Amino acid sequence: MAEQWFYVVNNANQGPVDRDALVRRARDGRIQRSTLVWKDGMQDWAEAQTFDFLYPKEVAPPPLPPPPKPSATAPQRDLRGMLGGVGAKISDVADLPTISDINVKQVLIGGLKEKTGEEDIEEEFIVGTRKTTPSLAEIKTGWPAPRVFWYVLAGCIASYVLLRIGLSTFRNVNFVPGIIVVGAFGVPLACVILFFELNTPRNVSIYQVFKMMLVGGALSLVLTLFLFQYIPGAGTGAIIPAMLTGVGEETGKALVLLLVVGSMRYPWQLNGILFGAAVGAGFAGFETAGYAYRSGEGLFDSIMLRGMLAPGMHVIWTAMIGAALWRVKGNKKFEISMLFHPVVVRRWAIAVVLHGLWDSSLLIPWFIHLPVLLIVGWYLIFAMLKQAYGGIAAVKEATALAPAA
């Protein structure tokens, strides 16, 4: 019979789980070094760090190899250096750290290397309540390895394909509303789940996320249309109307974040990124559904195009504003003056510019200019995530060094 292990989280026994599941929980941070674990045959509970298979003993790193000799790959290094310089300039303008030391590929797909069972996926969402929010000492400060968002994305794509098959096979128009809903919300929802997994404080429940996505998304649309009554000339194509559209829509979505920014339950910048992404995803889903409904024979093309481009649009633009609001607010009481803090104004302006450039008709083809904006947007998001994780680490360190009362 396989070993059956138990562990303690928030003073409650968890388990039993087998040895492999215990290792997975240690790797993704759910079991810390100080977490108590036990199995049948042990006289007493012991800290996880005492077991080599959970936390191997640290060994001295091997000596660094000699520098590589010049080779034919020098142009590639020059290209990486040039891109690094562009990234550094973007970080300088946005007042953010660079991301040259972040393994973006590992963050996005590293979690797929481990087998994920349904129980693991379900447990990923059991967070954010009074009983399931970890203490400050238990918060993981490094980069997590999100993986559930890939499963959500695959499920949405599978649902969309099945509905398309049903429509083409049975010629039943009742499939069309489902196609619009799944096609409009699938990719934005997967992006929100990614930010949910990146929220290492684990203090936001999936209920709060969906509430902000649905209610917040609908409210942001209403607020945006209200604002457009006072912003004449908004539109797409020319640069000025496109920028005015960015002003209206990013302001409308930012105002919705006022519903939660005052809560002392959510003091972390990562929380603002998550809430901003949720509102942006709701806005994007409802907007895409509206465009699809009005597109007639172009229904499927509209859904496919906006689905592929969704990761570079409203989700990350509003996440940027959320990051700024929560960075300024922190664990203090929210004040209206914080909306005019230079950090908030700068991030809002960046979101507006990215939005305006997205909606404008530039001289370069759309299949070049939109992917470039998508890459720039995600560069900024990763820089904000890095800043947010650094903030958590700083608070933990300061708390650990503080004298006991």
* pLDDT score, position 231: 94
In a domain, 317, yes or no: yes
Distance CA 214, CA 231 (A): 25
Please state, rounded to an integer, the average pLDDT across all residues of the chain.
90
CATH code of the domain covering residue 121: 3.30.1490
Claim to verify: residue 126 and residue 206 sit in the same structural domain? no
Q: Is the pLDDT of residue 72 over 80?
A: no
**Does residue 92 fall inside a structural domain?**
no
Which residue in 123, 144, 138 sits closest to 17, CA to CA? 123
Q: What is the pLDDT of residue 113?
A: 84
| pLDDT value of position 23 | 84
- In this structure, the answer to whether residues 258 and 336 fall within a common structural domain is yes
Instruction: Please indicate, yes or no, if residue 322 is contained in any of the structural domains.
Output: yes
Total number of domains constituting the chain: 2
CA 279, CA 269: separation in Å to the nearest integer? 16
Q: What is the per-residue pLDDT across 330-387, written as a single tens digit (0 to 9) for each?
A: 999 999 999 999 999 999 999 999 999 999 988 889 889 999 999 999 999 999 999 9
253 and 170 assigned to the same domain: yes
Count of CB atoms within 10 A of residue 55's CB? 15
- Please tell me whether residues 217 and 328 are part of one structural domain: yes
Assess whether pLDDT exceeds 60 at residue 138: yes
Output the pLDDT for position 3: 84
In this model, does residue 71 exceed pLDDT 70?
Answer: no
Q: Do the domain assignments include residue 396?
A: no
Predicted local confidence at residue 69, as pLDDT: 57
* 260 shares a domain with 219: yes
pLDDT value for 210: 98
Residue 79, domain member (yes or no): no
Domain shared by 53 and 174, yes or no: no
| Range scoring the smallest mean pLDDT among 28-32, 35-39, 162-166 | 28-32
pTM attached to this predicted model:
0.81
Q: Confirm whether 178 is domain-assigned.
A: yes
Q: Considering only CA atoms, give the Rg of the chain.
A: 23
Q: Which domain-ending residue is among 107, 133, 159?
A: 133
SS3 99: coil
**Does 6 map to a domain?**
yes
Structural domain boundaries, residue 366: 146-391
Residue 46 maps to a domain: yes
pLDDT class of 17 with cuts at 50, 70, 90: confident
CA 366 → CA 37, 105, 183, 205, 374, distances in Å? 55, 25, 21, 38, 12
Same domain? For 128 and 214 the reply is no
- Whether 128 and 178 map to the same domain: the answer is no
Domain boundary among 83, 104, 133: 133
- Are 127 and 216 contained in the same domain? no
* 122 and 182 housed in the same domain: no
